[in-house]
Every structure is written in C-alpha cells, then in structure tokens.
Amino acid sequence: MATLTQSDSCYTEQFGPTLSFAPAGGWGSRQPDKLVKTHCCFCGVQCGIQLKVSDNKVVGFEPWEEFPVNQGKLCPKGVKRYLQNDHPDRLLTPLVRTDSGFRAATWDEALSKTVAAIKSIQGKFGKDAFAFLGGASMTNEKAYLNGKFARLALQTANIDYNGRLCMVSAGAANRMAFGVDRAANPWSDIPLAKALLITGANIAECFPILTDHVWRARDHGAKIIVIDPRITPIARTADLFLPVRPGRDSALANGILHVMIERGWIDEAFIAAHTHDFDKVRALVAKYTPALTERITGVPAASIVKAAEIWGPAETSMLLHARGIEHHTKGVENVLTYINLVLATGRIGKPGCGYGTITGQGNGQGGREHGQRCNQLPGGRDINKPEHREFIAKFWGVPEPELPKQGLTACEIMDAIERGEIKGLLSISFNPLVSIPDASRTRAALEKLEFLGCIDFFLSETARHADVVLAGSLQEEDEGTVTTGEGRCVRLRNSVSPPGDARVDWQIICDLAARLGNAAAFNYARPKEIFDELAAASKGGPIDYSGMSYERLEQNFGIFWPCPAPEHPGTPRLFEGGEFHHPDGRAKFHAFDYRPPAEDVDAQFPLFFTSGRVVSQYLSGTQTRRIGALVEQYPEPLCEMHPRLAAKLGVKDRDLVRVSTRRGEITVPAQVVTSIRPDTVFVPYHWPGRKSANLLTNRALDPISKIPEFKVCACKVEKVADAPAQPARQFPARSQRAASTR
C-alpha cells in the first residue's frame, strides 16, 4: 500500500544471502541436544530428514534412512534447508506500517488493527469485500483452519490458495476422469513400470529424489519417453525425447492415441467394462494422423509413432506429469488427453501400472483437500452440493444458509481488488506479487487495497506492501501433518519454538477468530486437536482421513488416504480391480480437440516464452534467495535460448537481453544452450522486481481450473549489451558475512 523505506530493507539485501551461522569452531564441535525425525520443508516429495537441534536452533541435519521414499537421500535444497532457521531476516515481532516504514508492534496492537480493518471494511462494503489467501506449504491442520476461519469468522466467500497457481488443472482433470483427485499410485510403483511417459515435468530439478525411482525403472528395463520443449536432465537419459512446441500437448496426446488405435494397442475389454465415452475419443483422434500432429506440435511424425510403439504394447506403464502441461488455459484438457492414453491401455490400479500428477508444494496434496479452496469444504467436499454443505454446517454447528457460497479463485481475487470490489486481504504463506502472472497489475492491485495483512516468517515482497505483518512460524517451529505427492499423510515434528515474539501460525488464526467473536469454535490447545477435528470432518467425504490419528501416522511412516476407519490400513494404490470413484465405478474418457494458447506467436512477438524452475531455488524465492549456498548455485534469472536463435539475434552467452511481451519487459543475461527448442525461451521465475518472469506472463485462465497460463505466451528478445566482465552483483566476502549475523 505504501512505498518502501530504508527501514524495511533486509539483511539479505544489505549483505547478501547468508552462508552459515556457525559459532567459532563450527557446530560440529558441539553435540546437538536432539535429533528430530521430520520432513523437508520444500517440495511435494517430502523427504524424511532428521534435524539437529542445539539451544532451540536447527543447526544441521542427519539423514533419516528408514523413511522409505528417500532412504536418507536429499537434494541441494534439502541439505541446506536448515539454514533458514535462525536467519537474520527472520521476523521476530509483528510489524505495523507508519509513515516512515514498518515498526515493531505488540501482538495486541497488531491483532487489534487487523480486526478493526476487517470489521470496518466488511461493515462498509459487505462480508465478501474482505478476502483470504492461504497456501499449500502449510500443514493439513492449517489448511483446514484457514477454510473454517474464512467461512465462520470472516464469513467471506472469497477464500482461495496458492495451489490455484499450481495443482488445480490436474485436480479438476483427476476428478473428471477418475472421480477423485490424487496420484493413483505410490512412488514405489515407478520402478515396476516397463514404460514411463514423463510430460511437462522437470523431475531432476524439481523432484530430484524421484529421479532415483525413474533410474531404478530404467535399470529394470523400462523405456522412458520425455515430452518437454527443453531437454531437461531426465530427458538426457530417456529412450525417446519429444520436443513439443509449448501449448500443444492435447494435440500430441491425441496423435499418440491415433497410432495406438490404428495398431490395435487398446484394451477393448477394459474399456467396455470400466469406462465411458471411448467412442467419442476414437472418433475425434481419427484425424490426428502423425503428419497433422507434427504440424501442430513440432514433434517429428516418426517420433510420435515411436512413442506409441513404446507405450502401446508395454507390459506395465506409468504416466507422470507436472506443471508443464497444467499451467495452460487448456491445462485440464491437456491432462485429460494424456489420461486417455492410460485408460485406453487399461494399465491402472495394478503394480507398476498407473498415473501420477507430481504434486509441487510441500503440502500441495493436503493443501487442496481440507477446505481452503473457494469451491471446497473439508473432506474434499463440494461447496455447491447441498448434502455436502448440510454435513459441514451441522459439523460446525451453524445453519446451512450461513455458510458462504463459492467465491473467487486466487487470480480472480486480484482482478476483483483491481476493480475495487475487494478492499481488504489477509494472506498467509503466499507471495502473490512474485508468483501471480502480470505482476505490474498485481502491484497496482495491492496498492489499491484499503488493508493488507500478511502472515509470514520473512518480509516477502508482498508483505512489504502490508499494513500489518504478523510474524508466523517456520515449518520446524510447529507440528502437524502434510500429505505427500503420493497421497501419504505424514507427521511433521516440532524441532524448535518460534524465536522472539513470533507465534505459530494456527495460534494467530485462532486469536483473530476469537477477536472476531468466534472463540469457542477456535479453541485448540495443540495441532493434534485440529487434526482430530479435520479427520472427523472428512468422514464419509470424497477425501476420507477419519481412520487416521497422530499415533497411527507415527507407527507407519504415514498413511495413504482414503482411510475411513481406525483399523483401515490406508490405500497406497487407487482403483485396484478397475474400481473408479465415480458413482457407477467407471472412469471417463474425454475428447478434446486441440485449441491454441490464449496468446500465440505472431510477427511482432515471434518467440514462445515459458517459465519454471531451477534446482537450487524454490517458488517465489523468499526462502531460498536467503541461503548463500543455493544462491551461489544460480544467483540470478537467465534467459535460456538455443544457439541458432542466439546467432540470429547476435547474442553470445551471458550477453544482456531484453525479453518483452505485451505486458512488460525484463533484462537478464542470456544462457545459450542446445537443450531448448530454437523457437522458445525459458526464464525461471524465483526472483522479484525488475527481473521477475511474471512481469511478462499472461493472466489468461483455464475456464475450468482457473489456473493461469504460465507456460506459454508470445515474446520478443533483443540484445541490450555485451556480457559484463564481472558478475552483475557482488556479495560481501564470506568472512564479512559470517561476522554480521544477528
């Protein structure tokens, strides 16, 4: 809302990211007080890790070899995650805005200001004029609490979460095809597959530990197909790589199915017994000959045939995808056309046979299950279904008509702020200024708000625009549960308590609820009580946790849902025996003709722009841009381009280039690599401000999932200057940094 002043700037900006906080002699010289078995705070693989704790600080880690998914292995972010604890930028008190920047405040003052703003805005403009944004880095307990807080305490329809930028296309497609939204198989099925189709997933950089599972499949003789505009590290060891033009996946999947039908690699008996609507798909894909598919997708016809030859007759197979096919205005359609390839072979619901969208955020799965989405109530219930509303209204002890209706999705909330319809926003575990497309519009919207409150442990770029910042908790400062990308609910254990005056997130939410007159419904002594409530609320719903308890989760390295009774073992593999979760037990095929992206290339903007991730940085970067070892690995965004394109533009490696779209421009160094299509450039999005990829991206939404089209828009690239002789930014020397810790 206000402009930033000097007093708001952070340690990291002044001195560079931290390398280590070790005392003289190093932590190694000290015995830790305890080792805590918990999970990594970053991606949806949720590797097991043991955090080393000394003096209420996380000072290192040990592998946790018994946890079956990673067996002690960790990726570069996992081994450095402990450095976020005790970071000098850690918020230690609530902050309130003054005319000259932020000042520390007491909890009473910060909470009173927040509640006064909520009451004033809702009094003047109605309940829905105050919105809430949550996130999927938070535990299941907090996801549940966020939904309950918005519906009961704020009484607003406008609650949504950052998974709207992430998993919703896959979620909608899963529900449409299978009647339930979860990866169908445990990761332990990957090594049993004889064919793997990996599309739009940079597994080696984004889910590094799953690379090991893919390699084990290869060791067992699996053939691997990778589909991506870039030859990602996993593609380098694949049997077949299909360099798809961005935004063309639905055509490609239709083309592969065309060849499979022609060659008879279809399980007609399975299709007849367990599915609907294959005839519609068969009729549609008849026109997707390899030649037509090549024209649309840029993938050579021979490679399309080869993909069908690997996938069609395989004995066992798994489809894996991530945001590369989902971040599109036809994200749902892309996912459904690939799912057709699985259903057509009948290879699902058996060992080594199935399907998985690879969930992104640490609790990307659980974060989308317990009611913090605008269209959802706990237990994966549908806010528009009368019987689901009745169940939750009764569970919460309110009349059904008092439960708000479906509200706006995350990007739509920004649009409503821009239009002046939403006046106040409370955001927890979300950094929309960096992560939502068309960032200039996001900034203008944030500046328009009458009140912005943020709950975070660092002063994120969004929090800098806040009126009140509430100092919340790091993952290791609280306990709870998360549900991993394979649908396994696991326990996070408390390692340390929040430093200074910071508080655990759930307590902040409960304090706000109490001040809004809802103390009784938000009276919890610890997260276990919230978990028991969310499990009970899920009973009989599409996502049933009712048989789970902290004790059971601890005994079993977690439990896969559905788990509908205390004696139920959980469900690692869905759809065994061809039983799907639609009311009649059948899965559904979907026939989608290819349609172009919202913005395609043209004479003015002749190149495809796509964005995503690098291994050492995480999401909007709030956490990883503060950790020196990760920053050194990839200090600033680079624009990947092919040597042929570079030659045409007169650009050499590390020259500065201006990338512009209809929405904005950024100037970054070029990275000239042979691993990308010559008609496409790629920029990772983990940085804010003038280097933010989201200044360029298009806020066009998928009509079903409302995910924005991060993965394709049209751009042009021009050379600005020769590569600087020195790296663009110099951080203080290591010794200087070590001396200047808090």
Ligand X SMILES: Nc1nc2c(c(=O)[nH]1)N[C@H]1C(S)=C(S)[C@@H](COP(=O)(O)OP(=O)(O)OC[C@H]3O[C@@H](n4cnc5c(=O)[nH]c(N)nc54)[C@H](O)[C@@H]3O)O[C@H]1N2
From 160-168, 270-278, 328-336, 510-518, span contacting Mo ion (CB under 5 A): 160-168
Kind and range of the H or E element at 281?
A: helix 278-285
Residues 681-710 that bind ligand SF4 (CB under 6 A): none
* Residue number with CB closer to ligand X (285 or 713): 713
C-alpha count within 13 angstroms, C-beta hemisphere, residue 233? 15
Binding-site partner at residue 74 among ligand X, Mo ion, ligand SF4, none, CB < 5 to 8 Å by type: ligand SF4
Does position 241 bind ligand X by CB under 6 A? no
From 118-126, 272-280, 404-412, 611-619, span contacting ligand X (CB under 6 A): 611-619
Cα–Cα distance measured from residue 137 to residue 601, given in angstroms and rounded to the nearest whole number: 35
Question: What per-residue string of b and e applies to 369-384 under the rule 16 or more CB within 10 Å gives b?
Answer: bbbbbbbbbbbbbbbe
Size of interface with ligand SF4, in residues (CB under 6 A): 14
**Whole-number CA gyration radius for the chain:** 25
Contact with ligand X (CB under 6 A) among 78, 179, 243, 247? 247
Grouping H, G, I as helix, E, B as strand and the rest as coil, residue 675 is coil
Write the interaction track for ligand SF4 spanning residues 293-312; mark x where CB under 6 A is met and - where it is not.
--------------------
Does position 543 bind ligand X by CB under 6 A? no
Binding-site partner at residue 369 among ligand X, ligand SF4, Mo ion, none, CB < 5 to 8 Å by type: none
Locus of tokens 């024209």: 295
Write the interaction track for Mo ion spanning residues 332-361; mark x where CB under 5 A is met and - where it is not.
----------------------------x-
Quickly count: other Cβ atoms within 10 Å of residue 139's Cβ.
27
Cα–Cα distance measured from residue 27 to residue 30, given in angstroms and rounded to the nearest whole number: 5
From 226-234, 439-447, 516-524, 544-552, span contacting ligand X (CB under 6 A): 226-234
Contact 211, 234 (CB under 8 A): yes
Question: What per-residue string of b and e applies to 285-301 under the rule 16 or more CB within 10 Å gives b?
Answer: beebbbebbbebbbbeb
From 165-173, 509-517, 521-529, 728-736, span contacting Mo ion (CB under 5 A): 165-173
Does position 208 bind ligand SF4 by CB under 6 A? yes
3-state SS, 696-726, equals CCEEEECCCCCCEECCCEEEEEEEEECCCCC
| Nearest distance in Å: CB 541, ligand X | 24
* Residue number with CB closer to ligand X (590 or 613): 613
What ranges make up the beta strands (E) of 326-383? 354-357, 376-377, 381-382
Task: Give the CA distances from residue 429 to residues 45, 494, 709, in Å, rounded to whole numbers and listed in that order.
Answer: 19, 18, 22
* Residue number with CB closer to ligand SF4 (69 or 195): 69
Nearest CA among 75, 165, 233 for reference residue 616: 75
What ranges make up the beta strands (E) of 578-712? 587-588, 607-612, 639-641, 656-660, 665-672, 680-684, 698-701, 708-709
Phi-psi domain of 179 (left: phi exceeds 0; alpha: psi -120 through 50; beta: other)? left
Question: What per-residue string of b and e applies to 164-182 under the rule 16 or more CB within 10 Å gives b?
Answer: bbbbbbbbbbbbbbbbbbb
Phi-psi domain of 71 (left: phi exceeds 0; alpha: psi -120 through 50; beta: other)? left
Contact with ligand X (CB under 6 A) among 114, 122, 232, 337? 232
Q: Which residues contact 184 (CB under 8 A, 6 or more apart)?
A: 178, 348, 349, 354, 355, 356, 573, 574, 575
| Nearest distance in Å: CB 245, ligand SF4 | 29
* Residue number with CB closer to Mo ion (166 or 403): 166
Q: Going by DSSP bridges, is the β-strand pair 240-242/223-227 parallel, antiparallel, or unpaired?
A: parallel
Residues 619-658 that bind ligand X (CB under 6 A): 619-620, 622-623
Cα–Cα distance measured from residue 74 to residue 643, given in angstroms and rounded to the nearest whole number: 34
Cα–Cα distance measured from residue 510 to residue 512, given in angstroms and rounded to the nearest whole number: 5
Residue type, 306: K
Cα–Cα distance measured from residue 216 to residue 717, given in angstroms and rounded to the nearest whole number: 40
Contact with ligand X (CB under 6 A) among 278, 311, 458, 589? 458
Contact with ligand X (CB under 6 A) among 201, 426, 449, 466? 201
Quickly count: other Cβ atoms within 10 Å of residue 468's Cβ.
24
Cα–Cα distance measured from residue 503 to residue 470, given in angstroms and rounded to the nearest whole number: 8
Residues 62-81 that bind ligand SF4 (CB under 6 A): 70, 74-75, 77-78
Residues 356-385 that bind Mo ion (CB under 5 A): 360
Binding-site partner at residue 46 among ligand SF4, Mo ion, ligand X, none, CB < 5 to 8 Å by type: ligand SF4
* Residue number with CB closer to ligand X (274 or 626): 626
Does position 247 bind ligand SF4 by CB under 6 A? no
Contact with ligand X (CB under 6 A) among 48, 200, 331, 352? 200
Does position 43 bind ligand SF4 by CB under 6 A? yes
Residues 513-542 that bind ligand X (CB under 6 A): none
**Which ranges in 20-167 belong to alpha helices (H)?**
76-80, 107-125, 140-148
Binding-site partner at residue 45 among ligand SF4, ligand X, Mo ion, none, CB < 5 to 8 Å by type: ligand SF4
Residues 265-304 that bind ligand X (CB under 6 A): none
Residues 637-656 that bind Mo ion (CB under 5 A): none
Does position 322 bind ligand SF4 by CB under 6 A? no
Contact 357, 322 (CB under 8 A): yes
Does position 693 bind ligand X by CB under 6 A? yes
Does position 409 bind ligand X by CB under 6 A? no
Contact 429, 135 (CB under 8 A): yes
Contact with ligand X (CB under 6 A) among 352, 356, 487, 612? 612
Does position 209 bind ligand SF4 by CB under 6 A? yes
Contact 70, 45 (CB under 8 A): yes
* Residue number with CB closer to ligand SF4 (205 or 456): 205
Cα–Cα distance measured from residue 255 to residue 245, given in angstroms and rounded to the nearest whole number: 14
Does position 17 bind Mo ion by CB under 5 A? no
* Residue number with CB closer to ligand X (541 or 684): 684
From 39-47, 185-193, 213-221, 644-652, span contacting ligand SF4 (CB under 6 A): 39-47
* Residue number with CB closer to ligand SF4 (493 or 719): 493
Cα–Cα distance measured from residue 721 to residue 669, given in angstroms and rounded to the nearest whole number: 9
Contact positions vs Mo ion (CB under 5 A): 166, 360
Contact positions vs ligand X (CB under 6 A): 43, 135, 137-138, 162, 165-166, 199-202, 205-207, 227-230, 232, 244, 246-247, 249, 322-325, 327, 360-361, 428-432, 435, 455-458, 460, 472, 475, 505, 610-613, 615, 617-620, 622-623, 682, 685, 693-694, 697, 710-712
Contact positions vs ligand SF4 (CB under 6 A): 40, 42-43, 45-47, 70, 74-75, 77-78, 207-209
